[in-house]
Chain A
Amino acid sequence: MIEMNEQGLPSQEVSKPAELAMGPMIRKMLANPGALKKMRTMDPDEERYVRPSRPYDLPEYRQGMKHCKSSEKYLRPTRWCNPREPLVIAMAHELGAYELSDWEFAEAAFWFVKTRFTAEFMPLNSVSDSLRRGTGTCFHTNSVWIALCRAAGIKARYKTFNMMLPPSLTNAKTESGRATVNIFNTGMPEVEGEVCIDGKWVVGHVAMRPEYLACGYLPIPRFGEDAIGLTFPLTPGATIKRFESTPLWMWLVAKAITSFIPASMERANLKVLDALLRGSQVIEKAGGLEAYDRAARSKSESLHVDEIVRTMKAAMRPELVEFEA
């Protein structure tokens, strides 16, 4: 794993579109008109996605509400992350900005985004739009958290990495599996946020609701806890990148995908809703969120999958196999 710090990087160094590993998928898509049609159009009898209603009220903005006006890096407005939008300022106050300590506020904002926002595939937009909807991708939700913190005068930035998809997907033997899996293992990044408190960067993974994680019986990352290693294995050799602003090309890619294959996006959104429903049943069965999280953490400590795989690799006996050309 190569970890690069902020000083070593220009602010927008995340994976470039050319590196998104989409080539094999696009080739396969173009070679299969049936698949392409399916990706673009929902069947008439298919269930349609209905966005869930926003599970919180929008606070009213009042003139003169205190907010950070600094143009310092990590505090200033950046692309699709403007902490000076009235709704952002109002929500920051609603969550305790300038009343709570920096840690308490960042944590309150963290749980607000993590537990109230639903994952939805869509183009990037302003933080206010995301707040009005209560849905978005990991870029949307992290932008909401980062903007709320910046509005409260807490430095905040993005952090991306490539997660390794679960083995049942990454080792897919079908051509379609291979064509799609690398988009995520080496292409599309997963996003976390980081906030600077008392001179130290504190991580937060707001993108996935607890119910969604519960669907795979995964622990729920808390404020200050990295999702890498807890819920996401890092792709071997992956670079962790940190930056102030979402790059422009990310908007282009998101826009292009949602415009080109809208039906795929809709089906993915439906799957998310289904997963949330099942996850909420898991949490309920476990006796609530805390009980669930304890059990899930205990499980992840008991299942030593990574160690087993490493031990198996070390115990391979290559001298017993010969390959004849």
Chain B
Amino acid sequence: MATSAEIENRLRRLNERLARYIPPRETWTPADEALYKPVDLLRVPVDEAQEMQLKAIKYAFTRHYTYNQFYYEYCKMMGVSPDDLKTSDDFNKIPLIPDSIFKQHPSGKDLAYWITSIFTGDLPKVVIKGANPTFDDVINAFNEQAGMAVTYSSGTSGQHTVIPRDQKTMHAFQYGWTKMWLDIWDPTSIDHALNLIPKPTRSNLFAAKLQEVFEQLFEDHHYALDFEISADLALRAAVDHSNAAVAEQLSADGQLRKIFTIGTQWLERYEKTTDTIWILSFPALFSVFLDALEAQGKHFDFGERGVILTGGGWKTRDGKNMPHRDFRKRVEEVLGIPETRCLDSYGMSELNGGIVACPEGHYYHLPPWMKLFILDEGLKPIGYGEFGRLTFLDPLAYSYPGFVISGDEVRMFEHCPVCDRPGPVLDTVIQRVPSAEGRGCSTVLQKVLEQELEAQ
């Protein structure tokens, strides 16, 4: 375990490298304070974290209430105003937005109008070329002309989740995700980094854009997926099973072989050295990569000098849940990287900052600025240890109201059952709450026909 002096050194080095992600101190909002001020985000005492949360969430709520016409009207309808938020007991008064709202965006021209509605604050006028702009045309126009960082998810439910981040929100997310790891491993000590996730300049995928931060963080940073990934490709790939289908789609396009060749050569290059290596990937894609390495009889022994980070759905190519532990064991067998260095982060497109797994028990630890609730099926808060719908209040969402009811079913524990880091944690068993079913037999038939039409 790193000493507090070591963590401070890590933070100093991180802040030097990511200086452009940190706003000037004099401009810090209470939400910024909660992110940028603590040295070790995983060891903020619970009472301090609660105090930070109250200030940050109250600030964020007031901002969206004041500068977002849609959210203001919604709050008025619910009869809630910033004056009602006095203590953390009042958090449950904050009007929540179901995550389906971020999926219900229209397409074409209307998508542009939708972005103007959900965005908090001022926007410059955006000119979009073409009478029938594509999904990417609209998003690119906002990103290029309005200085935004609009991204979308891969669309595992058949639809992209669109998140209208501005640069401030995106930077807070990227910095927060990286800083969350400081207590566990040192991001500034990595000699060589490989990404098995689309390159940020070649895709508006949320997972891709996160990685812009690694350009600043790592001196030697390599992308195995260096080709264009459009919204349509991502959706086609993801429509069936989480990110496992990305692998399927890439395989069909002949790209998978190229990716694996790049990955294999990269591993072989650094196995012969004593340098530290770091790999980021979707679990499903990395699992297929491990299959390919094993099929070629390739085994490595990176040991403690390797770090594997994953994020994204834990589904296999045939849509089954992939046990985390089995995955870590396979990583150890094929790459020689111990389980304590094979770590996952949990997140949603709507959420800013990482929820990171500890190396001891692999439970997901929460950022101190974020308030999470678990709701039962009737949307009433439930206690620790019970499965329910994950709901969060995220004050780092500066450009949209980050008060979201998710479609993920999880359970929360008051303390990590294994490690001594303070604050609540999420269990690793996370699944989707069923929602699109139950309406009528038509929904069933529609899904069957749609899937069959996709068959070749």
Contacts and interface: CB of A to CB of B under 8 A. Distances in A.
A148 interface: no
Contacts of B440: 138, 163, 190, 207-208, 231-232
B368 to A, nearest CB: 28
Contacts of B126: 320-322
A2 interface: no
A312 B70 contact: yes
Contact of B441 (A181, A218, A272): A272
Contact of B116 (A184, A294, A314, A317): A317
Contact count band on A: 35 or more
Contacts of B133: 323
B77 A304 contact: yes
B297 interface: no
Interface in B78-114: 78, 97-98, 100-101, 103-107, 109, 112-114
A250 interface: no
A268 interface: yes
B435 A308 contact: no
A316 B113 contact: yes
A110 B448 CA distance: 29
Contacts of A299: 377-379
B106 A171 contact: yes
Given A34-B455, A171-B103, A217 B438 contact: yes
A305 B450 CA distance: 25
Contacts of A324: 127-130
The majority secondary structure among interface residues of chain A is: helix
The majority secondary structure among interface residues of chain B is: mixed
Interface string A172-214: 1110110111011000101000000000000000011000111
A309 interface: yes
Contacts of B443: 165-166, 169, 184
Interface string A271-306: 110010011001000100000001110110011110
A174 B239 contact: yes
A316 B202 CA distance: 29
B436 A216 contact: yes
B444 A213 contact: no
Contacts of B447: 169, 271
B236 A174 contact: yes
A168 B448 contact: no
A167 interface: yes
Contacts of A172: 158-159, 450
A147 B15 CA distance: 75
B377 A309 contact: no
A213 B103 CA distance: 22
Given A214-B438, A286-B377, A303-B379, A169 B118 contact: no
Given A38-B455, A39-B452, A312-B114, A264 B125 contact: no
Contact of A231 (B73, B100, B439, B442): B439
Nearest to A31: B453
A307 interface: yes
A275 B444 contact: yes
A325 interface: yes
Interface in B426-456: 433-456
Contact of B437 (A29, A275, A307): A275
A279 B380 CA distance: 20
A95 interface: no
A303 B405 contact: yes
B442 A318 contact: no
A301 B158 CA distance: 26
Contact of B130 (A25, A38, A323): A323
B160 interface: yes
A261 B448 CA distance: 11
Nearest to B453: A176
B377 A217 contact: yes
B100 A305 contact: yes
A35 B454 contact: yes
A313 interface: yes
A87 interface: no
A10 to B, nearest CB: 25
Interface of B: 68-70, 73-74, 77-78, 97-98, 100-101, 103-107, 109, 112-114, 116-118, 123-131, 133, 135, 155, 157-160, 231-232, 235-236, 239, 376-380, 405, 433-456
22 contacts: A32-B455, A163-B440, A165-B442, A166-B436, A167-B159, A168-B435, A171-B104, A173-B135, A176-B451, A184-B445, A208-B441, A213-B438, A217-B438, A218-B439, A267-B452, A271-B447, A279-B438, A299-B377, A304-B77, A321-B113, A322-B126, A323-B129
